[in-house]
Amino acid sequence: MKTFTIGITGASGAVYGVRLAQEILKSGHKLHLVVTEAGWQVFREELLWDTEDRERCIEENFASYGKERFHYHTLRDFNAPIASGSYQNDGMVIIPCSMGTLSGIAHGASGNLLERTADVMLKESRKLILVPRETPLHKIHLENMLKVSEAGGKIVPAMPGFYHLPKSMDDLVNFLVGKVLDNLGVHHELFTRWGD
């Protein structure tokens, strides 16, 4: 069993983060989840979730996969184990990653638990994957992605492929989430691989 952290920000595409979290839990791994305030807004706007009672929302959509392996943290919870380099965290994914969160990570801001945990992953040379979801990209966005990449992070843009002949939105979501799982070293069968 491995331990992973997922951050979901206010960029469009919360479904990617939700699907990734659920797949990691289904695979039997331990998961820490952090959601930004804007991420909660996107849950409401794009997924049509009732976010008035956040605890119930988390329970219904994540904790039911394995309460003993699932931990939710607020942005201000700097006492969370994932905020420390001494905690064994096998990989972190921010999916989708807003340009604001990208900037905070690229500049080492550590202004909230999400940025702090990403900073820990970089300083400890552990897997950090950012899934930016923005278009078009200007020079500052690109420079920030380059900074994170040069510091040891990996950029996996939310760019679905079509060689697997997707027939639904679900197929497109599964393709991207599968690519992220590949980069984490987590087995999945979310899409048909080229040549299969």
Annotated binding site for dimethylallyl phosphate: 163, 179
How far apart, in whole angstroms, are the C-alpha atoms of residue 91 and residue 153?
11
How far apart, in whole angstroms, are the C-alpha atoms of residue 89 and residue 37?
24
Measured in whole angstroms, how far is the alpha carbon of residue 108 from the centre of its chain? 18
Binding residues for FMN, as ranges, are 10-12, 36, 98-101, 133
Q: For 55, phi and psi rounded to 5 degrees?
A: -60, -45
116: closest CA among 147, 85, 91, 71?
A: 85
Binding residues, as ranges, are 10-12, 36, 98-101, 133, 163, 179
How far apart, in whole angstroms, are the C-alpha atoms of residue 143 and residue 141?
6
95-133 burial, b if ≥16 CB within 10 A, otherwise e?
bbbbbebbbbbbeeebebbbbbbbbbbbeeebbbbbbbb
